[in-house]
Amino acid sequence: MSLETLGWGPAFEDAFSSLLSQSTLSLVPGRVVRQQRGLLTVQTATRTLLARTAGRLLHQAPGAESLPTIGDWVALQLPDGDGEALLHAVLPRRGVLARREAGSERDGQLIAANLDVVFLAAGLDGNFNPRRIERALALAWSSGASPVVVLTKADLHPDAASLAAEVEDLAPGVPVLALSAWTGEGVEVLRAWLPAGKTGVLLGSSGVGKSTLVNRLLGEARLATQAVRAEDDKGRHTTTHRELFVLPGGGMLIDGPGMRELGLWGEDDGVEQTFTDILELAAGCRFTDCQHQREPGCAVREAVAAGALPGSRLASYERLRRERAYQARQGNASSERDNRRHERSRTLMGWEASRSKRRRS
């Protein structure tokens, strides 16, 4: 398989050449195509092989976000035989999708890297949730890739077109596709978003039909699927790993386990891009720092009162904005603690060096 088929281009070529010029090792480029519990499978131009992260990269990485993930382009030292390759570096990324790690306020979790498009999958069944779509949009906009809302299971809804129009209202400027992976209706429209060399990722909770959609795009039952629970329309975790698939005719799609928690992460969380309609209304508020609470002349609250803006959408915007502000405060506090520890360490090292010098004299 050629590297170009996997999305290799001039930017990655330049980065790899620069890395190679500074290294004494014999390295080759490859892309991470499978990730399962820390095990990585990497595709190079000539072979597919397991790889483990070099100790130096593990120790020098400032955090888990600097370590390789699915979709990454990496520099490998190949084994002499059939053993594991050694992964020495991750090439600069673009289009990085990440979330706050479940159960943590300080740590992020990478979902996929080097993305062109993020498909936000939501099932048109009892699990449909507009607020979750808004949250997923904020994450997608933060990635730098283009978001596309994919409404699956259109065959189960009597009026999928009207629901798609409703989603278009809460996703200004974002394409909304209603399709059925079961019947194949609308799937070709999604395929058009993944021409040769482009990479997409499916983001959605368990039970929305992501694996069924991947199988339809591949033209074969590559991934196992399960029915959702009848009592609550929630899915089971059928997929337990992340994998990059090369689709027939070009383009790549990454699928992984369903996610129920989508905590905001990153400096640019995409909240403003998700709620451009509210920001446009806010431009008409009497005060430039209006918080849309009880201030007089608030154009946003007036729009809610007039029925032009759903109160639930404003509440969602405020909730995500508060969450992002809290996360920023936590990040700043963590950074300050790290800086203080670093300064104490430097002071101690200086004191030890000075005492050692006095002893020698």
CB 69 within 8 A of CB 35: yes
Query: Which of helix, strand or coil describes residue 270?
Result: coil
Tokens found for residue 205: 């909770």
Q: Would you say 21 is a known binding-site residue?
A: no
Q: Would you say 85 is a known binding-site residue?
A: no
Q: Would you say 298 is a known binding-site residue?
A: yes
Question: What's the CA gap between 280 and 284, in Å, rounded?
Answer: 8
Parallel, antiparallel or unpaired: strands 242-246 and 252-255: antiparallel
Q: Would you say 285 is a known binding-site residue?
A: yes
**Element (H or E) spanning 122, and its range?**
strand 117-123
Q: Would you say 198 is a known binding-site residue?
A: no
Q: Would you say 209 is a known binding-site residue?
A: yes
Q: Would you say 345 is a known binding-site residue?
A: no
Distance of CA 353 to the CA centre of its chain: 45
Q: Would you say 162 is a known binding-site residue?
A: no
* Residue 313: DSSP 8-state: H
Q: Would you say 53 is a known binding-site residue?
A: no
Helices assigned H by DSSP within the chain: 10-21, 55-60, 130-143, 160-170, 187-191, 210-218, 271-274, 276-282, 299-305, 311-360
Q: Would you say 204 is a known binding-site residue?
A: yes
Q: Residue 132, Cβ neighbours under 10 Å: how many? A: 17
Question: What's the CA gap between 242 and 60, in Å, rounded?
Answer: 25
Q: Would you say 258 is a known binding-site residue?
A: no
Report which residue type is found at 92.
Answer: P
Handedness of CA 128, 312, 316, 148 (dihedral sign): positive
Q: Would you say 59 is a known binding-site residue?
A: no
Q: Would you say 206 is a known binding-site residue?
A: yes
Between the CA of residue 171 and those of 117, 122, 281, what are the distances in Å? 15, 13, 16
Q: Would you say 211 is a known binding-site residue?
A: yes
Q: Would you say 212 is a known binding-site residue?
A: yes
Which has the closest alpha carbon to 91: 173, 9, 152, 171? 9
- For the chain, the C-alpha Rg in angstroms (whole number) is 24
Tokens found for residue 35: 């990730």
Residues annotated in a binding site for GTP: 152-155, 204-212
Residues annotated in a binding site for Zn(2+): 285, 290, 292, 298
Residues annotated in a binding site: 152-155, 204-212, 285, 290, 292, 298
